[in-house]
Amino acid sequence: MSIKSFHIIFILFSIGVTIWLGVWGLNESIYISLASFLFGGALVIYGLQVLKKFKTIS
């Protein structure tokens, strides 16, 4: 497994965990949920930038 594919898989896993934490946080604390969804959105943006960068790297 290359470092590029590991990085993409790790980003996808992190997005899934933050979304799960956000959904779980809806019942526990709105602050946990809000922070988790914000970090999840930031990870989506980061992941798109990484994919764009990996397309230019061979």
* Domains of the chain by residue range: 3-53
Report the distance separating Cα 26 and Cα 33, nearest Å. 6
Report the distance separating Cα 41 and Cα 47, nearest Å. 10
Q: Where are the alpha helices (DSSP H) in the chain?
A: 3-28, 30-56
For the cut 80, the answer to whether the pLDDT of residue 51 exceeds it is yes
What does pLDDT average to over the chain?
93
Cα dihedral 41, 16, 23, 48 in deg (nearest 10): 10
Q: Which of 53, 50, 55 is nearest to 12 (CA)?
A: 50
Higher model confidence: residue 1 or residue 51? 51
Mean pLDDT, residues 5-31: 94
The Cβ of residue 24 has, within 10 Å, a number of other Cβ atoms equal to 13
Tell me the per-residue pLDDT of 3-12, one tens digit each, with 9 for 90 and over.
Answer: 888 999 999 9
